[in-house]
């Protein structure tokens, strides 16, 4: 009986942790969507963070709870299966066949967890834009991604590259600044044999902190892509979005037009 209670409490803690994480994603996505749809060619809008908190905790509390419940169940199953696999490997005397099967099962569950997490993000992004329920948002969110697959793929890779550069760059910079302060500011290096331990702690804490904050950039990019794709599907060309966004679009159009004109002139000269 005690084991069941402990398992229930542990699962509740896991669910609550994922719920907080998904709630923060919804807040970020709603803020990004409100910023996009309150902006136009002449006016830059505002990101309504308060509306994001309201949607995450009131309007779509059930949707966030359902999405976090699914991923919590899969994560719990993966942890239980991992424990069972390790015990099976130890009982088999590190048999290679058992190890191979263990790796395959864990790989499958990890892939399943990543797929569900991606579906959740797609559902939250579409829900933040449209206000629809979780299942409806998941269906139309995946369909919208399939329709604009190249744009979403490019945006995701670009966001991942910027996030990785930010993590590495800020970690190195903060560690270097700490070393410089210890050497020339406080002169702590004169009193210690090696600065490796404090520098490692600074690097680790910086990486964790940067990872928390820069993860918001990923959700922002996805929600913005949903807004742009929906805007283009409705109007043919984007009508909303900040003025800088429209300026970039106009520059791309002008460059493309000038390139077409040069190509047409070159073709005419060739024919002549």
At 241-261, the pLDDT tens digits run 888 888 888 887 777 776 655
pLDDT at 61: 92
Say yes or no to pLDDT of 92 above 90.
no
pLDDT digits (tens, 9 = 90+) for 156-171: 777 778 888 888 888 9
pLDDT at 265: 55
Token digits for 50? Answer: 């308060």
Instruction: Give the integer Cα–Cα distance in Å for 257 and 214.
Output: 37
| End-to-end C-alpha distance for the chain, whole angstroms | 92
**H/E segment holding residue 197:** helix 196-235
pLDDT at 259: 62
Phi-psi group of 195: left, alpha or beta (phi > 0 → left; psi -120 to 50 → alpha; rest → beta): alpha
pLDDT at 67: 93
Instruction: Give the integer Cα–Cα distance in Å for 206 and 169.
Output: 11
pLDDT digits (tens, 9 = 90+) for 147-203: 887 777 777 777 778 888 888 888 999 899 888 888 777 777 677 777 788 888 988
CA dihedral 118, 121, 125, 131 (to 10 degrees): 120
Angle at which helices 96-130 and 61-91 cross, to 10°: 170
Contact 41, 243 (CB under 8 A): yes
Instruction: Give the integer Cα–Cα distance in Å for 111 and 104.
Output: 11
Which band of pLDDT confidence, cut at 50, 70 and 90, is reported for residue 65?
very high
Token digits for 76? Answer: 């719990």
Say yes or no to pLDDT of 264 above 70.
no
User: Higher-confidence residue: 208 or 140?
Assistant: 140
Say yes or no to pLDDT of 127 above 90.
yes
pLDDT at 15: 92
Q: Tell me how crowded residue 79 is: count the other CB atoms within 10 A of its CB.
A: 13
Say yes or no to pLDDT of 27 above 70.
yes
SS3 39: coil
pLDDT at 225: 87
DSSP string computed for 68-121 = HHHHHHHHHHHHHHHHHHHHHHHHTTS-HHHHHHHHHHHHHHHHHHHHHHHHHH
Say yes or no to pLDDT of 124 above 90.
yes
Contact 29, 230 (CB under 8 A): no
- Residue position matching structure tokens 């270097």: 176
Say yes or no to pLDDT of 71 above 90.
yes
Query: What are the CA-CA distances from residue 33 to residues 52, 61, 78, 107, 236 (Å)?
Result: 10, 18, 34, 35, 19
pLDDT at 270: 55
- Residue position matching structure tokens 């329709």: 147
pLDDT at 261: 59
């Amino acid at each position: 009986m005690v084991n069941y209670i402990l398992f229930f409490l542990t699962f509740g803690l896991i669910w609550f942790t994922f719920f907080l994480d998904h709630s923060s994603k919804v807040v970020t996505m709603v803020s990004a969507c409100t910023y996009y749809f309150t902006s136009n060619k002449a006016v830059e809008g505002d990101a309504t963070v308060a509306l994001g908190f309201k949607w995450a905790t009131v309007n779509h509390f059930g949707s966030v709870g359902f999405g976090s419940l699914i991923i919590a169940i899969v994560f719990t199953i993966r942890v239980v299966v991992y424990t069972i696999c390790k015990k099976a490997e130890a009982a088999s005397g590190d048999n290679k066949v058992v190890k191979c099967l263990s790796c395959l099962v864990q790989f499958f569950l990890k892939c399943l967890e990543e797929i569900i997490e991606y579906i959740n993000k797609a559902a939250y992004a579409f829900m933040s834009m449209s206000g629809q329920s979780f299942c409806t948002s998941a269906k139309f969110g995946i369909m919208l991604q399939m329709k604009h697959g190249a744009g979403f793929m490019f945006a995701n890779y670009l966001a991942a590259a910027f996030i990785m550069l930010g993590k590495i760059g800020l970690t190195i910079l903060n560690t270097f600044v700490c070393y410089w302060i210890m050497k020339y500011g406080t002169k702590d290096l004169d009193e210690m044999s090696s600065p490796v331990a404090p520098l490692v702690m600074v690097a680790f804490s910086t990486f964790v902190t940067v990872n928390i904050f820069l993860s918001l950039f990923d959700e922002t990019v996805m929600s913005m892509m949903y807004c742009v794709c929906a805007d283009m599907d409705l109007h043919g060309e984007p009508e909303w979005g900040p003025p800088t966004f429209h300026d970039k679009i106009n520059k791309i159009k002008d460059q493309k037009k000038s390139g077409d004109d040069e190509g047409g002139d070159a073709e005419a000269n060739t024919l002549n």
